[in-house]
Amino acid sequence: MAMKKNDLKGKNILVTGATSGIGKGICIALLSQGARVIGIGRDESKVSDLSFEDNKFLFLPYDLNNIDGIEGLFQNNSVAQEKLDGLVLCAGKEETVPLSLYKGDKIKSLFNLNLFSGIELLRIFSKKKFSKDNSSVVFFSSVMGELGQPGKVGYCATKSAVLGVVNSASLELAKRKIRVNAVSPGVVATPMTKKLFSQLSDENVKQIEEMHPLGIGQIEDVVPTVLFLLSDDSKWITGQNIKIDGGYSIQ
Amino acid sequence: MTKEEFIAELAEEMEIETTVTAETNFQELDEWDSMGMMVLIGFVSEKFEVSLNAEDIAKLTTFESLIDKIGVDKFS
C-alpha cells in the first residue's frame, strides 16, 4: 500500500478562531504543508506574523457572534473561487460562571459563539457550491463535553451540544462522503487557558495540572490529529469524538 | 449602586446567613469557599465589568477592601 501521510498540499481549508491558540497553530501547520487557508477571526493584527506563499492565506476579519452575517462571508469572491476541502471550527469561548449568576442572556451569548456559529458555518459549507465531496469537517468539543466542573454549566453544555451536532451531521452528510468529527482537548497551554488560570488560585491551577497524567498539553499535541482528520488518511472515520487530553478523561 | 446596596446584594448572592458590614472580613465567613469566590468574581464582573483574579482576592479582607479594589468612584 502506497502511503502518502496526511497529504494536505493544495487543499482549501477554512479555519475559525484563526488568530490565537490552537486555531492559529492549525493555520501555521496547514500553510507549511502547502494548503490554502481561509482564516476567520476578529483581530487581523494577530496573524500578521504568519508567513506564507502568495495567495495561500486569506484572512477574513469577522466576529462570529454575528450569526446572520456568516453567509455573506461565503459570497466573498475569493472564498467562493474554489470549493472547500475542509472546515475547522476552533472559535470558542471559555467562561466560569456560577449557576446562580447564569441568566438567560449570558448563557445564550456563549451558545451563540460556541455552538450556533459552528452550525451556521456547517450549514453553508454543506452546500454543493461551497464544498467538495469527500471533504472533512472538524469541530472542537472539549473533555468538558463529557465531563463536568463547577462553574462550567455553560461551557460544558455548549461542548456537549457540539458532539450532538457531529453525530447527526456526520450521518446527514455521509451521502457526499463528507466526514464530520470532533476533537476534545484537555487543558492546553493557550492564551484562553492563561486567562482561565489567572482567575484561579495557584492551588487550583496545580490541581488541574495534576488531573492530566501526561501534564498540560501544548498546541503541537493537538494539531497533528486535526491534520489527520482533514486528510484522506482518515477517509473512513466519521462521527467520532477524539480525545486529546493527556489521559485526563480516563480517570 | 451604593456601597451598602453592593454589600447586601453580594451577601445575598453568596448566601451569607449572618449580618455583614463593610468591616466584615469575608474570608473568615463560614460560607467562604471556592464557589463563594466564583460567585464574588462573577458578581463583580457583571456589575462593574471589573475582572478580579484569585491573586487579587487573596489580598483582600473586608468588603471595604473589595470596594476599594473595584474603585470607590464606581459607587454612588
User: B19-49, pLDDT tens digit by residue?
Assistant: 999 999 999 999 899 889 999 999 999 999 9
| pLDDT, averaged across chain A | 93
Cα–Cα distance measured from residue A183 to residue A206, given in angstroms and rounded to the nearest whole number = 25
Determine the distance in angstroms separating the CA of B42 from the nearest CA of chain A, rounded to an integer.
6
- Kindly report the CATH number assigned to the domain that includes residue A194: 3.40.50.720
β pairing state of A131-140 and A36-41: unpaired
Among partner residues A101, A198, A204, which is closest to B46 by beta-carbon distance? A101
> Is residue A79 pLDDT above 80, yes or no?
no
Answer whether residue A5 is part of any domain: no
Say if the Cβ atoms of A101 and B13 lie within 8 Å.
yes
Lowest mean pLDDT among A53-57, A76-80, A228-232, B18-22: A76-80
Domain-located, residue A251? no
pLDDT digits (tens, 9 = 90+) for A37-65: 999 999 988 988 887 776 799 999 999 99
Looking at the predicted structure, is the pLDDT value of residue A78 above 80?
no
Number of domains in chain A: 1
Structural domain containing residue A162 = 12-245
Say yes or no for a CB contact (<8 Å) between B42 and A200: no
Domains of chain B by residue range: 3-74
Q: Is a pLDDT exceeding 70 seen at residue A2?
A: no
What is the CB neighbour count within 10 angstroms for residue A228?
19
Note the pLDDT of residue B63. Answer: 96
pLDDT of the residue at A195: 81
Listed residue (B63, B45, B34) closest to A201, CA to CA: B34
The yes or no reply on domain B3-74 and CATH 1.10.1200.10 is yes
- Within a domain: residue A82? yes
d(CA B12, CA B7): 8
Least confident of A179-183, A219-223, B32-36: B32-36
pLDDT(A1) > 70 = no
Give the per-residue pLDDT at A75: 85
Q: Which residue among B35, B54, B55 sits closest to A98, beta carbon to beta carbon? A: B35
List % helix, strand, coil for chain B (3-state, nearest 5): 60, 5, 40
Active-site annotation holds for A62: no
Predicted confidence band of residue A199 (pLDDT cuts 50, 70, 90) = confident
- Is residue A146 over pLDDT 80? yes
B23 at interface of A, judged by CB pairs closer than 8 A: no
> Would you say residue A2 lies in a domain?
no
Please, which pLDDT band fits residue A3 given cuts at 50, 70 and 90?
Answer: low
